[in-house]
């Protein structure tokens, strides 16, 4: 499991949302032949004429104003725009689509709070993501190029791992939040917007089998990686995740009380549940790049309570809202696409520039790589806001 907030080696450069409008990458309708699909709740079947010169700031405010507060856990209406594959960029596109359809992140970006107060606009991943998410949700039936300001540092004109790009982007956004705003210092390490949405923690407990003494440590995470080599379902993989591991032989535990290496058991549990839960199914070998193609079922509704450090209490239920899929035999080739759930509750397949309605039964039968869940109690809060300062801290 990737248990720590990792720092990016470089961040994207961007301008404010308004300044970026003239340079934003949209696709000339005559440049490529594409199939357009209506947004959720629309009865239209023909493509809309792109209007990239409208006042996006005003429109974003209207879209965000559909919620009582601009920052909320309510799902934004409709579905985002398709993204053009400019050459081995399917992994970028799938990742950006999943983030664009993450309810609290999308609502915060639509509010444009960050760019209004950011004092690092030329070097800010949050500003770049704000521009992308707002454009995508405002021009839902257009096709856009993946934004260079978000991808240039990572993309080297070859296929990369979508999960690695996801974590790279989240950590770059986290760093952007930490740098503060024109009006305040940055938030603390564990109170940025990204940590508030995606952050949780795991408890590792090692128990000496001789003296019965225990040693506990708690580490933060943005995602949880699951071994699927023997699992037939996500629930079974989570059961294996919290199953005690024997430490013996060369892996024996050095017990401070016994003053020597002793047999021990190690148990991982989820100490603090994140509000948005990212589950990574380990399909790729670190050594060969080969892929685990076994079918692993996953639920539309997931109860995380049995895997918590404190398993007593009521259900801790999460709702599935996005699924990232890799089609191919190794991590070095193949194709990435994803499925997202719009505010209407309808599911869409986002396959580069192609966006089409999909039924949930088919979604749940796909060989998922990364699963995106949101805690139902947060969704049920609707437009309730917990108040933030402009830097994105709590």
CB < 8 Å & 24+ apart, contacts of 248-255: 253/206, 253/208, 255/208, 255/210, 255/211, 255/213
Residue 90: active-site member: yes
Q: What is the 3-state secondary structure (H, E, C) of the chain?
A: CCCCCCCCCCCCCCCCHHHHHHHCCECCCCCCCCCCCCCCCCCCCCCCCCCCCCCHHHHHHHHHCCCCCCCCCCCCCCCCCEECCCCCCHHHHHHHHHHHCCHHHHHHHHHCHHHHHECCHHHCHHHHHHHHHHHHHHCCCCEECCCHHHHCCCCCCCCCCHHHHHHHHHHHHHHHHHCCECCCCCCCCCCCHHHHHHCEEEEEEEEECCCCCEEEEEEEECCEEEECCCCCEHHHHHHHHCCCEEECHHHCEEECCCCEEECEEEEEEEEECCCEEEEEEECECCCCCEECCCCCECCCEEECHHHECCCCCCCCEEEEEEEEEEECCECCCCEEEEEEECCCCCEEEEECCEEEEECHHHHCCCCEEEEEEEEHHHHHCCCCCCCCCCCCCC
Tokens of 381: 């809060």
Catalytic residue (choose from 69, 120, 332, 335): 335
Q: Are 150 and 133 in contact (CB under 8 A)?
A: no
Q: Which residues pair with 133 in a beta bridge?
A: none
Residue 177: active-site member: no
Catalytic residue (choose from 20, 90, 118, 331): 90
Question: 252 vs 205, 218, 246, 262, CA distance in Å?
Answer: 14, 21, 8, 5
The packing angle between helices 125-138 and 90-100, to 10°, is: 80
Catalytic residues: 90, 335
């Amino acid at each position: 499991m990737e248990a720590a907030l990792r720092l990016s080696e470089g961040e994207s450069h961007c301008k404010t949302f308004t300044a970026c409008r003239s340079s934003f990458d949209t696709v000339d309708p005559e440049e490529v032949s594409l199939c357009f699909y209506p947004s959720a709740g629309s009865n239209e079947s023909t493509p809309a004429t792109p209007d990239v010169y409208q006042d996006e700031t005003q429109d974003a405010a209207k879209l965000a104003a559909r919620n009582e507060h601009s920052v909320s856990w309510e799902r934004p209406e409709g579905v985002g725009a398709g993204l053009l594959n400019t050459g081995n960029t399917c992994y970028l596109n799938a990742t950006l689509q999943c983030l664009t359809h993450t309810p609290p992140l999308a609502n915060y970006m639509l509010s444009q709070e960050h760019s209004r107060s950011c004092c690092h606009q030329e070097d800010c991943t949050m500003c770049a993501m704000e521009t992308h998410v707002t454009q995508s949700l405002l021009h839902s039936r257009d096709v856009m190029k993946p934004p260079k300001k978000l991808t240039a540092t990572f993309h080297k004109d070859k296929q990369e791992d979508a999960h690695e790009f996801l974590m790279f982007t989240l950590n770059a956004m986290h760093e952007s939040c930490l740098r503060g705003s024109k009006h305040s210092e940055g938030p603390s390490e564990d109170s940025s917007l990204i940590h508030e949405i995606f952050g949780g923690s795991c408890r590792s407990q090692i128990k000496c089998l001789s003296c019965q003494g225990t040693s506990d440590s708690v580490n933060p995470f943005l995602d949880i990686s699951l071994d699927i080599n023997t699992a037939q379902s996500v629930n079974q993989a989570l059961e294996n995740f919290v199953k005690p591991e024997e430490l013996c032989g060369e892996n024996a535990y050095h017990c401070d009380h016994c003053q020597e290496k002793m047999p021990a058991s190690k148990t991982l549990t989820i100490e603090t549940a994140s509000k948005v839960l990212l589950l990574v199914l380990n399909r790729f070998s670190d050594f060969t790049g080969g892929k685990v193609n076994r079918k692993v079922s996953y639920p539309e509704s997931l109860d995380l309570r049995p895997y918590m450090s404190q398993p007593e209490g009521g259900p801790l239920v999460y709702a599935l809202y996005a699924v990232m899929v890799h089609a191919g035999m190794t991590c070095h080739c193949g194709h990435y696409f994803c499925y997202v759930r719009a505010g209407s509750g309808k599911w869409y397949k986002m396959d580069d520039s192609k966006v089409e309605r999909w039924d949930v039964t088919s979604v749940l039968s796909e060989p998922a790589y990364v699963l995106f869940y949101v805690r139902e109690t947060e969704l049920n809060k609707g437009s309730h806001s917990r108040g933030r300062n402009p830097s994105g801290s709590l």
